[in-house]
Structure 1
């Protein structure tokens, strides 16, 4: 049996953590390794438990999810963080994306959406709905991600990598990119990794921002649902 995805739950409401735990523990490939009630506890829990994915509330006492995300991304570059929010256009959640989160999820999401988001984040996909991407670009699309490259590296992409880059910017998942380009999902993952490395982007969220900054897709382009 493949290694299970290790998940840390971070929320100041115990009942919400319990609800998420019940959903995740019913999945054979997911394992809840711990819980934390605020950002400061989350930082310590990640250090001790080494999860693969963190479900992070953004509004918590003592240390909010934004600052916790910023610190965790700096300390653990391979960690994937999905922030939890009550409203899908929550500016706190967008601030967490800027801090390095891989996407965000509504707290009232259906169980299959929750599990899919965790798997997507772990697999390197961004967890963003099309209209969320639009709003994200409106808020900070004019700012390159930290340490991201400017125009130069985009020209270093091969033709296939450029196709993958554009598809990422349109919000397609690895599976959708594979279907569109008639290649396997594993091949797409390889291309995505090369694209991120050449662009100097930490993850797909930052790559999407960079794509729109560089005009890889028009700012008014329609995003795929």
Structure 2
């Protein structure tokens, strides 16, 4: 989708916090960027995208429901491969940032950023280019050099489920009941998880899960 330098860039903003959208909307107008539409739920993004055909979509990651911004981005890009997405989030764990770019986002911007940074990311995305804040680029480079030690990288899907429940403080019996597995299976997988992550204390497991956004603080 091409953009003319003489025309305002039209964007769709999706965030369940009106104050966030209002704050950025006022600032972005000064940067030749027009808010074509605003939605507050993940489920509203695709219908509104088809309706207003924006050049760039600004997506929050967490909406408080089953669908996340990541889910929306995957669905949007599967139907519209040329869609240009920027994630705007208060959560910036390395694994999350990496996943956003892996999905196909053009940029990841934190909500405490300067409006100029968001405007620059939008302008880059409108031209089909990726945009990296310096600190984000540095962190991604560190991951590439030192390796990604996030649970989401080291564990498979079933292990992630159990690791999350461990972090929430459930017992083996409770996890077995929740996941319809035997306590023995839970015990075996739990031990494997601890060995893979090289972490054994319950408190440290919870801290790690919070750090990587798997459970709420």
Residue of structure 1 equivalent to 2:126: 122
Give distance in 2, aligned partners of 1:53 and 1:136. Answer: 28
Partner SS, residue 2 of structure 1? coil
The secondary structure found in structure 1 opposite 2:6 is: coil
Q: CA deviation at 1:114?
A: 1.3
CA distance in 2, matches of 1:40, 1:13: 15
Tell me the equivalent position of 1:33.
36
SS at match of 1:19: helix
Shift of residue 96, structure 1, vs aligned partner: 2.5
> Equivalent residue for 2:76?
72
Distance 1:135 1:51, change over 3 A: farther
Deviation at 1:120, TM superposition (A): 1.2
**TM-score, structure 1 as length reference:** 0.57
Q: 1:114 to 1:20 in 2, by over 3 A?
A: same
Q: Which residue number in structure 2 is paired with residue 83 of structure 1?
A: 87
Match of 2:17 in 1: 13
* Aligned Cα root-mean-square deviation (Å): 2.2
Count residues in correspondence.
Answer: 140
Q: Given the superposition, is the C-alpha separation of residues 22 and 72 from structure 1 closer, same or farther in structure 2, using an over 3 Å criterion?
A: same
Equivalent in 43, 60, 84 of residue 57 of structure 1? 60
Does structure 2 retain, via aligned residues, the 8 Å contact 1:66–1:96?
yes
- What do the CA deviations read for 1:109-132 (whole angstroms, capped 9, x no partner)? 111111111111112221223214
1:56 to 1:112, Cα distance in 2 relative to 1, 3 A: same
The corresponding residue for 1:131 is: 138
Unaligned residue ranges in structure 2 (runs of 5+): 154-217
Distance in 1, matches of 2:47 and 2:89, equals 22
Alignment partner of 1:95 out of 99, 102, 105: 99
Deviation, structure 1 residue 4: 1.8
Q: CA deviation at 1:135?
A: 5.2
Q: For 2:139 and 2:10, locate their aligned partners in 1 and report how far apart those are by CA, in whole Å.
A: 26
Q: Greater CA radius of gyration, 1 or 2?
A: 2
Q: Distance in 2 between matches of 1:77 and 1:8?
A: 16
Structure 1 CA distance for aligned equivalents of residues 126 and 47 of structure 2: 21
1:136 is displaced (CA, Å) by 5.8
- Structure 2 matches for 1:171-182, cutoff 5 A? none
